[in-house]
Structure formats: structure tokens, C-alpha cells
Amino acid sequence: MDCTDNYCHTNSHIMYFPRCIPTKEVEATIQPTTVFCNCSNSNCEENNCACIQRSGTYYSFTDKNQLESYKIVLTNKNRPTYECNENCQCVNSLCGNKLVQCGPRSGLIVKICEESKKGQGVFTEKSISNGNFVCEYAGEVISEREALIRFKINAKKKKMNYIFCIDEYFGNKNIKTFIDASAYGNIGRYVNHSCDPNCVMMITRINDNIPVLALFACRNIAVNEELSYDYGIINKNEQSDEDTSLSTKCLCGSETCSGFLPYDTRII
Ligand SMILES: C[S@@+](CC[C@H](N)C(=O)[O-])C[C@H]1O[C@@H](n2cnc3c(N)ncnc32)[C@H](O)[C@@H]1O
């Protein structure tokens, strides 16, 4: 399926990439998915589709061809979403199990957050329902070594942070994936943190083992609301003096605000 993404960046130093792009170092580690479905009628449902059967979620919808009507339903919180992929029989059609790969929803706008000094943020011109897909967090997929170097440089220069770490466990094995949207990315790079967010980041797998970060609404969102998600869990008690110097004051304005932006201690 082609991804429809008509958004662009206003800053010419940032390249618009609708999808994640791996560095050469990461590219060498990519493994294509080996699971695919044989749903020849392009009607993928839990009782017939191998992808949905191994997925921790499924999509409910009122109209299969109206992606904005899709809502994610969680069935197993320990598993990611497995969308149908390029090896599936249903490859060129909307089958009911393709959503994130089709691109962001319409009506999203990027603008300066007037009420606080968070820089730009993503707002919606259309209401969004709980469970609706918003957009992917696209960027460069970089190695842990590269993430460490970039994070330290950014912190030193007091630059905004666009490096996201995904921590996954497969049995005892821990795999970390780092996505940096500093220079390459889509509209997802502008979504700010909130301690009381209206969206949640979910892990999706499509054509290979690289996790795709997909933002979904976790409550109904009104027209003109700013979109947000929780960047992580902060544990202030464990912060050293050095860590505190890297902390950014959180300006989410929620009653439950923890005071500082969560940052990933794994990349400090
Ligand atoms: C992924 S970017 C989000 C988009 C960014 N605001 C922009 O203008 O491009 C993350 C950065 O935005 C700022 N930010 C995001 N949420 C914030 C919050 N709740 N309070 C203060 N700054 C925030 C921080 O500088 C953070 O490093």
C-alpha cells in the first residue's frame, strides 16, 4: 500500500521523510518479516488472518475503506501490532489490518505553542476519537553508539531532543531501537510531551523487525486541541547532579505535571 502523506516541513534544513530511514550501520541488521497471511479475499479478520492472530491489537472500523474510522483495540498489551505486509496475499488492498502504513490522518497542523515556550506543536483542525490513528514518529533509525554521541552533543548545545529510544524484551533478550527525527522525519517530530496526554505511542511491525512508532488518541480530542503523549517515566529520586543539568522544565501545564520532561537515562 502506498503511504499518503501530504505534510511538509517549513524549515528547509529538515528533510520530510514519511517513513523511518535506517543508517547504513542499522540497515545491515534489518530482517524482513517471515510471517504473512493468505487472506486472498483481502478481508483480514481475527479468524482467518495470520498477522492479526499474532498481533496484540486489531482495528475496528465502520467502513474498511475509511481509514479515519479505524480504532485500535488492545487484546494483549505484551505484543505489538502486526499489520499485514508486502508479503501478504492482501498486499495491494485495504484489508482491515493496514492503517499505520497508509500515512497520517488529515487535519493536523504544526504551529508555535502560544501559551508556553515549548516551541512548535501539533494541533488538530478536526476532532479525533479515542483509538483513532494520528501519525507515525518517523526519523533516522540509528545505532545505540550513534544515539549516545548525538544525544550528548544535543544536550551540550541545549538543542531540542528528537531521539526516541524503544526498549523491547524478547524473553531475556533486550533490543533497543533509536529513532532520531532531528534532521529527517515527518509531522510526528513536532508532537510535544504532556504529563496528562491525549495520545499514546504504540509499537507496530510491518515489513521487517524495525519497530514503527505509531501515535493513537487515548481519549476524544476536540478541534484545535494540541496533541501530546508521555515521553517516558521520570524517576526524580535517581537523578544525579549531572542528570539534573540535562533536565528540561516541563511546560505541559497539567495538574499532574511532574515538573521536568522525562528523558531517557539509557542514552545519557
Ligand atoms: C520532539 S520535540 C517536540 C517538538 C518541538 N516542540 C519543536 O518545536 O520542534 C521535543 C522537544 O520539544 C520541547 N518540549 C516538548 N514537550 C515539552 C514540554 N511539555 N515542556 C517543555 N518543552 C517541551 C523540548 O525542548 C523537547 O526536547
261 lines ligand 1 (CB under 6 A): yes
The per-residue pLDDT for 115 is: 86
1/101: higher pLDDT: 101
pLDDT tens column, 12-32: 999 999 999 999 999 999 999
Measured in angstroms, how far is the CA atom of residue 192 from the centroid of ligand 1? Answer: 5
pTM: 0.94
Percent of the chain at pLDDT exceeding 70: 93
Measured in angstroms, how far is the CA atom of residue 20 from the centroid of ligand 1? Answer: 20
Q: How many CB atoms lie within 10 A of CB 50?
A: 16
- What number is the average pLDDT over the span 107-125? 95
Looking at domain 15-234, its CATH superfamily turns out to be: SET domain (2.170.270.10)
Average pLDDT, the chain: 91
Measured in angstroms, how far is the CA atom of residue 193 from the centroid of ligand 1? Answer: 7
Contact 195, 261 (CB under 8 A): no
150 lines ligand 1 (CB under 6 A): no
State the cell numbers at 252. Answer: 505541559
160 lines ligand 1 (CB under 6 A): yes
- What number is the average pLDDT over the span 174-199? 96
The per-residue pLDDT for 264 is: 58
For the chain, the structural domain boundaries read 15-234
192 lines ligand 1 (CB under 6 A): yes
- What number is the average pLDDT over the span 35-43? 91
Please write down the HEC assignment for all residues of 26-69: HHCCCCECCCCCCCCCCCCCCCCCHHHHHCCEEEECCCCCCHHH
| 121 burial level (CB within 10 Å; 0-12, 13-18, 19+) | buried
Measured in angstroms, how far is the CA atom of residue 120 from the centroid of ligand 1? Answer: 7
For the CA of 161, the closest atom of ligand 1 is: 27
The band of 237, judged by pLDDT with boundaries at 50, 70 and 90, is: very low
The per-residue pLDDT for 267 is: 52
- What number is the average pLDDT over the span 239-250? 61
- What number is the average pLDDT over the span 97-121? 95
- What number is the average pLDDT over the span 93-111? 97
Instruction: Say what the ipTM of the complex is.
Output: 0.99
